[in-house]
Amino acid sequence: MRNRLFPCLLFLIPLVMASYVSAGPSYDKIYAEYPKDKYLVGVGETGGTGNFLNDRRVAEVLARLEIAKQIKVRLREETLDIMCEGGSARLFKDILECKNQFIMIVEVTVDEFLQGSSIVRHGEMDGIVYAVAIMPRAEAARKLDNRVKESLDSTRQGIEKAKKGDKEALNEAREDYMKAVTYNKEKEMIDGVKSRAADMFDELEDELMKLKEKK
């Protein structure tokens, strides 16, 4: 009897595994329709509670947060140490203050960035309510480029005010500068193109540093 059961069990195990793997939504078609070289894609899933509208809202929030996570993780991994152990650290009391400020700005800028995302799919399958959010890379890069320019303009205005004795303007200019740097790094990550603005950032950083030393 054991000899007969063993081959049967061997036959059943792959079937059980296949049914387990195929459970829940499959997103292969989504990634084919929205390729990663052209889109940032976020998928949100939540267990169905019977209130589909509420579950869908939760899944949509999670989908957008998944896009945000992709940017935040890369910024922290690839930029935080460079920013706060390099030249920009001079603008702060110490490295810890620089990192805290940078992390706070990342949260703000990425949340702004999420406003351009859109939900392209939602549904329910196997008790899982899901939503798919996308962000076109080209569109996001254009918006970030505009924000870089706006933040740099604000930095320059703050520097001019600080030169005239406005004490608060220096802190505001430093924050605008950090925003510009962060927006610029986000743009580099999204479009895969290295920015040519390094000299301009260095020039503004030197200006801020001179004002800080006079303070």
Q: What percent of the chain has pLDDT over 90?
A: 35
- More reliable by pLDDT, 2 or 177: 177
Residue 59 burial (CB count, 10 A): 25
Identify each DSSP E strand in the chain by its residue range: 39-47, 118-125, 128-136
- More reliable by pLDDT, 88 or 66: 66
Residue 6 has what pLDDT? Answer: 39
Residue 5 has what pLDDT? Answer: 41
pLDDT tens, residue by residue, 35-76: 989 999 999 999 998 898 999 999 999 999 999 988 888 888
Strand partners for 118: 134
pLDDT surpasses 80 at 82: no
- pLDDT band with cut points at 50, 70 and 90 for residue 189: confident
- pLDDT band with cut points at 50, 70 and 90 for residue 81: confident
pLDDT tens, residue by residue, 92-148: 888 888 888 888 888 888 888 788 899 999 899 889 999 999 999 999 999 999 999
Q: With left for phi above 0 and alpha for psi between -120 and 50, is residue 125 left, alpha or beta?
A: beta
CA–CA separation, 2 and 22 (whole Å): 30
Mean pLDDT of 163-189: 90
pLDDT surpasses 90 at 172: yes
> Rounded mean pLDDT of the chain?
82
Strand order through the sheet with 128-136:
39-47, 128-136, 118-125
- pLDDT band with cut points at 50, 70 and 90 for residue 15: very low
43 closest CA partner among 59, 19, 20: 59
pLDDT surpasses 60 at 21: no
Q: What percent of the chain has pLDDT over 70?
A: 87
Residue 137 has what pLDDT? Answer: 92
